[in-house]
Structure 1
Amino acid sequence: MKRIAVIGSSGGNLYNLGGKDPDKLVGEIAAQCNSAGMELGAVQFIAASESMDTAKETTSAVLYGWNTEERRLAKRLEGTLKEVNEAAFELDADMAALIGSGQIDGLIVMSADPEGANGQAIRAAAEKSIPVVGTGGTSMALIGSKGAKVIAASGTTGTTNRTRAVSFITSLCKHWGMKYVPVLGSPDGYKQPAGNPWRRINLKGIMQSSLPGFIAMAIVLALSQIPALKGLSAVFDIMLKALPVVLAVIAAKQISDMDEVSIVAGVIAGTLSMNGGIIGGILGGIGAGLLVQFLFVKCVQWRFPMTTVNIVAGGFAGLVSGLIMYYLVAPFALQAGEFIKYLINLAISFNPIVAGVIGGLLIWPAILGGVYHAAILPIVLLEMEKTGNSFLGAIDMVGLVMVSAGITLANLVAPRDKGEAAVAAPGFLINMGFGTFVEAAYPFMFSNKWVFGGAIAAAGIGGGLVGVFQVRGTAYVPSFMGPLLSNNVVGFTISMAAALLLAFAVTLVANKTSRGRKTADRNLPAQQSVS
């Protein structure tokens, strides 16, 4: 196993690009090392409380080493920058000894001081001719002049912790002829290999993550209906155009997960995909995400400077995907979205009551069968794209959220046994306060067929009322806000109340019947013994 050492400091420009958070900066490198089958064997890192461009000898700083047992950074000294630099010479000597004894196979350098705190390690690396990669234009030039075997060097502008780490390990693996697949994920769990980016395309995840943007748009639409806030209608129009950008950014980020590089690519692609609506935004973001990873890896393999790698990966990926959407795909994507909305409106106009009843009756089977987030939620968002609210969104609030609230309320007021009240309370509060967590009703529905049947019946009747009043609304908001964000405040309120009260009543009766049976069963042996 190849062992890597990291030396350097939080730097000047690097400070603002991840250097001020040493744990994440080194953590990214450790994650990519693990993925490549390497080991991070040693670290000597000086972290100042401000950029080295403005730091003074009295600036507070921390000297970090590497805890090989716990595989994390360990503080060696806290003090002024002068004190830390002096203490760093001792750690530099230890690093040089490791390199000289052949225990370090490669060196990663970031904003190092080859004339001072890192001089001994650099000289040892040059003598052993181990490969060196790093960032920091001035320091890397000095390191090269000392005879070190620099195989990849770059500035820090435009880089991130992740893109730097991936670039470092890619260069080292190419030098050694090793296979390497970058890992993506949160800083706390590097367990997701990048692998084939096509497998990370998750439409359900993209839709769910973008939901806050749609809710924000619905709120703006509702506020614009107030006479004093009519000017917000222009804001609504802007937000409507921005939705494809939101979806494109989320799609690009989920697929490539190269931090800011992915975000930039997603913004560019989404901006050029606006004419394709939310379907266009999703497709543009997916294209950008796929191209980001492809171009990033290729540019690193071609040994482009890190800044150029990020510019090509972020800028070109977004531009290429966006232009394809703008000129070729956007019109078809827009028509696909319009066709889906046309079918929904056709069903509603044919018979809104029947459409509402069918929607209500199917909403629980859909969420229990895993179809809701894959099929219904995208349709809700497509409806909201046009009007800011949705017919199916109203059925969601009435048939799922209010029914779940009714079931949990009944188990809070008159539970079958005392323990169920504690389970029901948070579910009821979350349903009413946040318009989500319908899963709180599952334990009660699955344990009693009458409650299950009552839930479906209440959803069907509530959906029918949504059709009667031809309501368009949304879930995922506090229940008291639901009617205010709809096109029919009174009609939505009646529909919500009816579904909640019916589910409450059915569950209440079912609970009392169940308690009566349990009481009778407990009394039966006593009666038999008396007779």
Structure 2
Amino acid sequence: MKRIAVIGSSGGNLYNLGGKDPDKLMGEIAAQCASAGVEIGGVQFISASESMDTAKETTSAILYEWSSEDERLLKRSEGTLKEVNQAATEMDMQTAGLIQSGQIDGLIVMSADPERANRLTIEAAAERKIPVVGTGGTSMALISSKGANVIATSGTTGTTNRTRAVSFITSLCKHWGLKFVPVLGSPGTAKLPSSGKPWRRINLKGIMQSSLPGFIAMAIVLALSQIPALKGLSEVFDVMLKALPVVLAVIAAKQISDLDEVSIVAGVIAGALSINGGIIGGIIGGIGAGLLVQFLFVKCVQWKFPMTTVNIVAGGFAGLISGLIMYYLIAPFALQAGEFIKYIINIAISFNPIVAGVIGGLLIWPAILGGVYHAAILPIVLLEMEKTGNSFLGAIDMVGLVMVSAGITLANIIAPRDKGEAAVAAPGFLINMGFGTFVEAAYPFMFSNKWVFAGAICSAGVGGGLVGVFNVRGTAYVPSFMGPFLSNNVIGFMISMAVALLLSLAVTLVANKAARNRKQVAEQNVSAQQSA
């Protein structure tokens, strides 16, 4: 197993690009090392409380070392920058000794001080000709002039902790002839390979769920624009409508490549050029940008481009290529696909809105229990909201799921089967009413009593039918008292919500009472048998 040492400081420009957070910076390097099968043999890192460009000898600083057992940074010394630099010279001797004894095979340098705090380490690396990679224009130039075997160097502008870590380990592994698959995901979380089959990371459900706050914000702006004094917000709504594809593109690009700001920039560029394709266009553009970001990033690193250039090419070109393809080739078809889906929904609703509402209400609980809701219904809700800011299925969501769940949990607060169930039901009811979500709160009561389960489905069907009667368009995921005001029919939505809640409440109260009576009878029978 190859072993590396990491030396340097929080730097000048580096300070504002991740250097001021040593734990995160080293966490990214450690994650890539683990993927490559490379061990961290030592760290000497000086973290100042401000950029080294403005730091003075009296600036507070911390000297970090590496704990191989815990695989994390530990504080070795703390004080003024002058004091920490003095302590660093001791570590410099130790790191140089490891290199001279052959225990270090490669060196990562970030804004180091080759003249003082890191002088012995650099001299040892030059003598042993071990590969050196790093960032920091001035320090890397000095290191090269000392005869070190620098195989990759770059400035820090435009880089991130993750892109630097991937670049460092890619260059070292290529030098050693080791296979390296970069990993994605924050340190300490599940990580995914950034090469191989990246399309496996495409998760439409995740993209839709993550983008939901944008749609809710748009719905709120639409509702506020209906107030005479706030009519000017209608222009804001139009702007937000155009921004939705950008939101989806950014989420999609970051989901696939997860290269921090690089993937975000690519997603913004692709999304801006995918606006004419609607939200479907934004998703496709973002997916394309994410795939290209990863491909171009890895290739540019392998070609030994400077890190700043790698980020520019990966972020800028990936977004531009994907966006231009969307703009000129795919956007019109993506827009038509979305319009066709909405057209089919509108035909079904206009044919018989009451029947459509009842069917939607009856099916929405089986859909969420079967895992279909987020994969099929939520995308349709968002497609509807893209055009009008609210949705027929969104109204059924609020009425058939949220209000029914609220009714079930409220019943178990008022008259539970067992005393302990009230404590379980209360938080669920408050979240249902206060946030318009967490319908899962009703699951324990639905699964333990078939009458409550049947009552939930029937209540949702009745509520959905009323949504059809009043031809309501609305949304969930907002406080229940706000729901009606974000709809196209305030009174109709309020009636639909109230009926669904009260019906599920009544059914659950009756079911709970029957369960309590059966329990009492059973206890009496047991007591009678014991007496006999």
What's the offset of the Cα at 1:187? 3.0
Show the counterpart of 1:212: 213
Show the counterpart of 2:144: 144
What's the offset of the Cα at 1:425? 0.7
TM-score normalised by L of structure 2: 0.99
Look up the SS of the partner of 2:293 in the other structure.
helix
Is 1:66 aligned with 2:62? no
What's the offset of the Cα at 1:102? 0.6
On the 8 A contact 1:253/1:262 being kept in 2, the answer is yes
- Residue by residue over 1:47-96, the C-alpha shift from the partner in whole angstroms, topping out at 9 and shown as x without a partner, is 11111111111111111111111111011111111111111100111110
On the 8 A contact 2:198/2:291 being kept in 1, the answer is yes
Show the counterpart of 2:154: 154
What's the offset of the Cα at 1:247? 0.2
What's the offset of the Cα at 1:194? 2.5
What's the offset of the Cα at 1:299? 0.3
On the 8 A contact 2:28/2:186 being kept in 1, the answer is no
1:128 to 1:228, Cα distance in 2 relative to 1, 3 A:
same
1:87 to 1:490, Cα distance in 2 relative to 1, 3 A:
same
What's the offset of the Cα at 1:526? 3.2
Show the counterpart of 1:338: 339
Alpha-carbon separation, structure 2, partners of 1:30 and 1:360 = 50
Aligned partner of 1:175: which letter?
H
Alpha-carbon separation, structure 2, partners of 1:529 and 1:302 = 85
- Residue by residue over 1:368-399, the C-alpha shift from the partner in whole angstroms, topping out at 9 and shown as x without a partner, is 11000000000000000000000000000000
Structure-to-structure mapping, 1:387-402, within 5 angstroms = 387-402=388-403
What's the offset of the Cα at 1:278? 0.2
Look up the SS of the partner of 2:407 in the other structure.
helix
On the 8 A contact 2:274/2:282 being kept in 1, the answer is yes
- Residue by residue over 1:18-71, the C-alpha shift from the partner in whole angstroms, topping out at 9 and shown as x without a partner, is 000000001100110001001111000011111111111111111111111111
Aligned partner of 2:488: which letter?
N
On the 8 A contact 1:183/1:190 being kept in 2, the answer is no
Aligned partner of 1:460: which letter?
G
**Percent same amino acid among aligned pairs?**
85
Look up the SS of the partner of 1:471 in the other structure.
coil
What's the offset of the Cα at 1:530? 5.9
Structure-to-structure mapping, 1:443-522, within 5 angstroms = 443-522=444-523
Aligned partner of 1:326: which letter?
Y
TM-score normalised by L of structure 1: 0.99
Alpha-carbon separation, structure 2, partners of 1:176 and 1:530 = 84
CA RMSD, Structure 1 to Structure 2 (Å): 0.9
Alpha-carbon separation, structure 2, partners of 1:486 and 1:412 = 29
- Residue by residue over 1:448-494, the C-alpha shift from the partner in whole angstroms, topping out at 9 and shown as x without a partner, is 11000000000000000000000000000000000010000000000
What's the offset of the Cα at 1:285? 0.2
Show the counterpart of 1:48: 48
Alpha-carbon separation, structure 2, partners of 1:12 and 1:131 = 24
Aligned partner of 1:498: which letter?
V
Alpha-carbon separation, structure 1, partners of 2:144 and 2:264 = 34
More displaced, 67-76 or 314-323? 67-76
More displaced, 417-426 or 510-519? 417-426
Alpha-carbon separation, structure 1, partners of 2:172 and 2:200 = 27
Alpha-carbon separation, structure 2, partners of 1:116 and 1:134 = 17
Show the counterpart of 1:229: 230
On the 8 A contact 2:185/2:192 being kept in 1, the answer is yes
Aligned partner of 1:292: which letter?
V
Show the counterpart of 2:438: 437
Aligned residue-pair number: 531
Show the counterpart of 1:188: 188
- Residue by residue over 1:219-272, the C-alpha shift from the partner in whole angstroms, topping out at 9 and shown as x without a partner, is 000111111111111100000000000000000000000000000000000000
Show the counterpart of 1:103: 103
Alpha-carbon separation, structure 2, partners of 1:285 and 1:419 = 48
- Residue by residue over 1:268-300, the C-alpha shift from the partner in whole angstroms, topping out at 9 and shown as x without a partner, is 000000000000000000000000000000000
Aligned partner of 2:59: which letter?
T
Show the counterpart of 2:404: 403
Structure-to-structure mapping, 1:216-365, within 5 angstroms = 216-365=217-366
Alpha-carbon separation, structure 1, partners of 2:261 and 2:360 = 41
Alpha-carbon separation, structure 1, partners of 2:530 and 2:452 = 35
